Amino acid sequence: MTLLVLVFSFMAICTASALASHGGESTLKRTSIVYHHSLVPPYLSDWWQEGIPHWEVGGDAVVTDAFVRLTPQQGSRSGWAWNTLPNDMKNWELKVTFAVHGKRAPGADGLAIWYVQDVFRKPGGVLFGYRNDFKGVGVILDTYDNDGLRDNPAVNVLANFNEQKSRWQLERDLRDDAMLRCQFDYRQTTPEDPAEITITYNENMLSVRLRIRRRSIDVPCGEVYLELPLGYYFGITASTGGVVDNHDILSIETEKERRTTQCHWNTSIASLTNATEVSGVPKFANLIVSDDDDDTAPRY
């Protein structure tokens, strides 16, 4: 009986922590900003002569003191910003403050935040400024409604390892490709009224949250279960086609994350091969409590 009470109490503590991370602010402990993986203004006044430390900006991107404009609202443009140092953190959080806006509606194409093995510095990348056969994870902010279902702009999490996939269903707005998808209208945000996307990776869980602070909009998109290697690169790309938008990056703040008690949701490994949405709070029966790293996570 005593053992049962102790086990239940420990699970209750762990569950409460997990519930807090689903319904409110993350319970992860934050350290200070990791500057060699962060992109923080002012850009011109501090860094222009030597370039932005640890970042390479190219394509049609233009740097101002307050933001990096990856694309102007002109047709068939693409731009990028790549961190030049490989990731050295097991657990991390990226908060990207951005704005997508244009004079006409609708706008396109969108932007993508990457954690990938190789950077891509060529114009004309067909996957929002990157190549189709990426190796790693991309969080895609897809603006244009290709399939006419009126559920764009939307955020999609794509995973691809060992270059196993090179064809993505852009005509269906990545609906069948995404491991995680949610609708979030970030268009017509501006540098004065920006949006935020926070991507947290901790103990094999990748979670996405979106905000527009001045409009009091806060959307927890969800989370998926992955095991990501060290040594990949952070980056962000954007593109336009026949329909256009400005794609502005105000900042990328990267922090190292750690959790004092490891709590894992027992998400099915099958969800990594079939497009699925993981949201809400799982049942208690699916909670796994461990003191060691979970060696059942898919390894890529």
- pLDDT tens readout for residues 119-137: 988 887 889 999 988 999 9
> What pTM was computed for the model?
0.77
User: Residue 11 pLDDT more than 60?
Assistant: no
Residue 138: pLDDT band (50, 70, 90) is: very high
Higher pLDDT, 121 or 19: 121
Lookup result for tokens 């898919």? 298
pLDDT, residue 167, reads 81
Percentage of the chain beyond pLDDT 70 is 74
Average pLDDT over residues 128-155: 93
Greater pLDDT, 45 or 43: 43
Type of residue found at 69:
R
The pLDDT value recorded for residue 47 is 64
What confidence tier does 284 reach under pLDDT thresholds 50, 70, 90?
Answer: very low
The amino acid sitting at 159 is A
Average pLDDT on 51-70 reads: 94
Q: Which residue has the higher pLDDT, 107 or 163?
A: 107
Q: What was the pLDDT predicted at 257?
A: 80
Best-predicted range by mean pLDDT among 150-154, 193-197, 280-284?
193-197
Per-residue pLDDT, 259: 57
- Residue 165: closest CA among 132, 141, 140: 132
Distance CA 105, CA 143 (A): 11
CA dist., res. 69 & res. 246, Å (int): 7
- Reply yes or no on whether the pLDDT at 244 is more than 60: yes
102 or 282: which leads in pLDDT: 102
pLDDT reading at 95 higher than 80: yes
Kindly report the average pLDDT of the chain as a whole number: 80
- Across residues 46-61, what is the average pLDDT? 84
Over the stretch 193-216, which tens digit does the pLDDT of each residue have? Answer: 999 999 999 999 999 999 999 999
Least confident of 3-17, 89-103, 115-129: 3-17
The total of other beta-carbon atoms located within 10 Å of residue 232's CB is 19
Q: Which of the residue ranges 29-33, 37-41, 279-283 would you say has the lowest mean pLDDT?
A: 279-283
More confident residue, 251 or 14: 251
Give the span between the Cα atoms of 140 and 157, in whole angstroms. Answer: 6
pLDDT of residue 292: 39
Q: What is the number of residues in the chain?
A: 300
| Phi (first) and psi of residue 76, to 5 degrees | 55, 50
Task: Give which of 205, 231, 203 is closest to 220, Cα–Cα.
Answer: 205
pLDDT of residue 299: 37
Higher-scoring residue by pLDDT: 109, 170: 109
Contacts of 262 (CB under 8 A, 6+ apart): 203, 289, 290, 291, 292, 293, 294
